[in-house]
Amino acid sequence: MSKINKKVVWLGIASFFSDVASEMIFPILPLFFANVLNLNKSVIGLIEGTAESFSSLLKVFAGWLSDKLKKRRIFLLFGYGVPVLTKPILALSTIWQYVFLFRFFDRTGKGLRTSPRDALISELSDVKIRGEYFGFHRTMDTLGAVLGVLVTVFLIYFVGNQYRFIFWLTLIPAFISFLIILLFVKESKNKFVSNFKFSFSNLDGKFKKFIFVSFLFSLANFSYAFFILRVNELGIALFLIPLLYLVYNIFYASASLPFGKLSDKIGRLPTLFLGYVLFALLCLGFVFVKNSLFLWLLFAIYGIVVAIVQTVPSAYIGDLIEQDKRGTAYGIYFAVVGFTILLSNIIAGILWDKFTFAGAFYFGAVVSFLSAIILVLLFRK
């Protein structure tokens, strides 16, 4: 393993604590939606999709503006600071509109920080180890998720379904992540010249094709909330649901660095092809699963899939795009993915309400297989 740049290490630690806060919430948020607020699946899909789409719009703006200003840090400060202020909204929620407001502002923070952060990581890494750097960051991010889920499992075991109490506690790690950015993450010394004239038509043709394939796969890649809701329908004990989510995060953390390094060796696209095919098989598994023991394997596969589709695209874009345009390019990618996920979540919610869970997961499987095929056809030599 290469020596990781200190700034990337601090970015990883900040993401670690940020994800402790987020993942204390995420495994129980669908249950809060369904069991406390009594929301139907279509409304859940709308909340999740709309929040992610607004976040995606901000990713374009933040990436573009960080290229123009040649500064990344200010976006990280706001990106990690805004979520600290939003946690009380969720804890005080009594109607779905409050939850929507929480998700809106929480995703605002993510939208502000994601593109500038990935651009900064690209600036600090050489192409030969870029996959490894992104893999390291995603590993730290997900280790925080593992700890967050463990804390939630512990709390549920002792206090039961006291969701609001758990939501209040997330303020602590969220604030720590902000402090780390404030104190330890500075601008890159690798200065670059930006003429600021950005045009999508001037981008690499491979980038455009990659955006199209990413759009297609994102139609299949609906929110984790639907996987949790499927488990809930199987009648699994409440305290086991966060444990399943923990398995997902453990495999996500364990797989991010190895698959990042694998993409450095065999190529980004073959690694991504594997991720698409695995996601299709995962969706089919959730259609046919009857035995709760099989769920542990499915959530492990889910973690591996997300490790691939979260790590490899960021490294690939860094390979294709010039340094002074990377923030904008990451913004375009995340925007396309995010807006498509809005559509994906709405479609999945409607299919679930109309045709049960099978409709949503069959849709995910078919579109993901199709994405893998088109990836091969568009990029074959």
Dihedral sign (CA 235, 237, 238, 244): negative
Name the band, by pLDDT with cuts 50, 70 and 90, for residue 372. Answer: very high
The pTM score is 0.74
Examine residue 316 and state whether it is found in any structural domain, yes or no.
yes
Q: If you average pLDDT over every residue of the chain, what do you get?
A: 86
Examine residue 194 and state whether it is found in any structural domain, yes or no.
no
Q: Identify the pLDDT of residue 159.
A: 84
- Least reliable range by pLDDT among 1-10, 178-187, 248-257: 1-10
Average pLDDT over residues 171-186: 93
Name the band, by pLDDT with cuts 50, 70 and 90, for residue 374. Answer: very high
pLDDT digits (tens, 9 = 90+) for 85-120: 888 888 888 888 888 888 888 888 988 998 889 888
Alpha helices in 26-95 (DSSP H): 29-31, 41-69, 73-91
Average pLDDT over residues 1-13: 83
Examine residue 197 and state whether it is found in any structural domain, yes or no.
no
- The answer to whether residue 197 scores a pLDDT higher than 60 is no
Examine residue 193 and state whether it is found in any structural domain, yes or no.
no
Whether 256 and 142 have beta carbons less than 8 Å apart is answered as: yes
- The answer to whether residue 125 scores a pLDDT higher than 80 is no
Q: How many domains does the chain have?
A: 1
pLDDT digits (tens, 9 = 90+) for 339-350: 887 789 889 989
Q: Which residues of 333-361 are buried (b: 16+ CB within 10 A; e: fewer)?
A: bbbbbbbbbbbbbbbbbbbbeeeebebbb
* SS3 state at 325: helix
Q: Identify the pLDDT of residue 122.
A: 84
> Between 224-233 and 41-69, two packed helices, what is the crossing angle to 10 degrees?
160
Examine residue 157 and state whether it is found in any structural domain, yes or no.
yes
Name the band, by pLDDT with cuts 50, 70 and 90, for residue 319. Answer: confident
Whether 327 and 184 have beta carbons less than 8 Å apart is answered as: no
The two tokens of residue 332 are 């375009």
Examine residue 328 and state whether it is found in any structural domain, yes or no.
yes
**Residue 69 CA: distances (Å) to CA of 122, 196, 212, 376:** 17, 9, 28, 37
- The answer to whether residue 380 scores a pLDDT higher than 90 is no
Alpha helices in the chain (DSSP H): 6-25, 29-31, 41-69, 73-91, 96-123, 130-159, 163-169, 171-184, 205-220, 224-233, 240-266, 268-288, 292-320, 326-379
Q: Identify the pLDDT of residue 200.
A: 58
pLDDT digits (tens, 9 = 90+) for 29-77: 878 887 788 877 777 777 776 777 778 788 888 888 888 888 889 999 9
Average pLDDT over residues 171-197: 79
Q: Identify the pLDDT of residue 213.
A: 95
Q: Which amino acid is at 372?
A: A
Examine residue 190 and state whether it is found in any structural domain, yes or no.
no
* SS3 state at 216: helix
Domain with 234, as residue range(s), is 6-185+202-379
Q: Identify the pLDDT of residue 75.
A: 93
Q: Identify the pLDDT of residue 2.
A: 61
Q: Identify the pLDDT of residue 192.
A: 53
The two tokens of residue 321 are 């795009």
Q: Which residue has the tokens 């010394």?
A: 189
pLDDT digits (tens, 9 = 90+) for 292-313: 788 999 999 999 999 999 889 9
Q: Identify the pLDDT of residue 55.
A: 80
Examine residue 191 and state whether it is found in any structural domain, yes or no.
no
- The answer to whether residue 191 scores a pLDDT higher than 80 is no
- Domain containing residue 42: CATH number: 1.20.1250.20
